[in-house]
Amino acid sequence: MPRSILPREGLTLEAIFVPVRLSLLQPLFTGSILLAIYQSPKLPLQWLSPDVLKFFQSPKALVSLGVLFGIGLLRKTNNVMSRLVLNNFTIDNTWDWTKEIVIITGGCSGIGALMVQRFAEKNIQVISLDVTPPPTPGLEVANHIRKTHGEPTVLINNAGIGTNKTILDETESELRRVFDVNIIAHFTLVKEFVPSMVRRNHGHVVTIASMASFLVHAQNVDYTCTKASALAFHEGLAQELKSRYNASKVRTSIIHPTWIRTPLIESLIRRRKITDLVLEPETVAEAVVNQVLSGYGAQLILPARLSIFSGLRGFPSWLQESMRNSVNRVLES
């Protein structure tokens, strides 16, 4: 397989699964084959050799195709239902990317900078907020944005920090800064920019969380607490928008990426501390930008194969603790 059609991460399970997803799990594909087989006496199938036709008409082949058709149909139905429910069964055709204004926190480096670049490449007005250098008070920044650019229609809460320290080693000031940046800022910015979205019933709030929303690592407790909180924030905001403010077209999305390649992660990889898939920053940035441009809200788990871990709290206690035990040395110096 040429490198050009592989994901940035190389030959991953996702890349291997693509041909299956695009063929055997497409109900239109498997359903068409089943229909052709059942209608074979009436259809000109001379182009199929007798052996091939006999194989497809065998009981095992028919059962296999039927199972694949059922799985594909359930998968499609699940995806459609998730999209409809998460977006309140509404369609918003008013997105005009020549007029939308996107705000990204933590937009001066990492994933945030990549998102800024991709929106800018599409000639979409994007504003970056970052803590370096220290900003003026939040209200003053918000007023300046509104006065200079207008009311933002997309807010991406991306900024995030951690200390990589144990609970006992972390200072109170470090702890408060992690919570201020990773979750308190979400509340502050939503208070400033979402009221205009509610008035127009148009907008999108994106929360960058993590797989840490579901699984805690020792020596990463502060960060994990804020990411679990970010998930609750996202879910609660969506509920309030539709049940308290009648803003069913203000979209909400949350993103849960696994490890992302950073200088810190590189050192962990070299020491064989991390053996799982590591995402490239560009992969995450593109996923977020594409979700925003779709005009719909969603919950994205990157890579999708890790979706099973979103239900970790429902696993048996012995299995939960075994999974936490398996990663409790990853961040150890």
Residue 260 DSSP code: B
- The answer to whether residue 245 is catalytic is no
Q: Which of these is catalytic: 223, 242, 245, 249?
A: 223
Specify the residue for token string 């359930």. 74
In SS3 terms, 109-169 reads as CHHHHHHHHHHHHCCCEEEEECCCCCCCCHHHHHHHHHHHCCCCCEEEECCCCCCCCCCCC
Q: Which of these is catalytic: 227, 242, 245, 273?
A: 227
d(Cα 105, Cα 157) in Å, to the nearest integer?
A: 5
- The answer to whether residue 296 is catalytic is no
Q: What is the DSSP annotation of 28-57?
A: HHHHHHHHHHHTGGGS--TTS-HHHHHHHT
d(Cα 99, Cα 101) in Å, to the nearest integer?
A: 7
| Three-class DSSP category at 58 | coil
Instruction: Let me know: does 72 contact 285? Beta carbons within 8 Å.
Output: no
Among residues 206, 109, 227, 100, which one has the least CA distance to residue 162? 227
Catalytic residue ranges: 223, 227
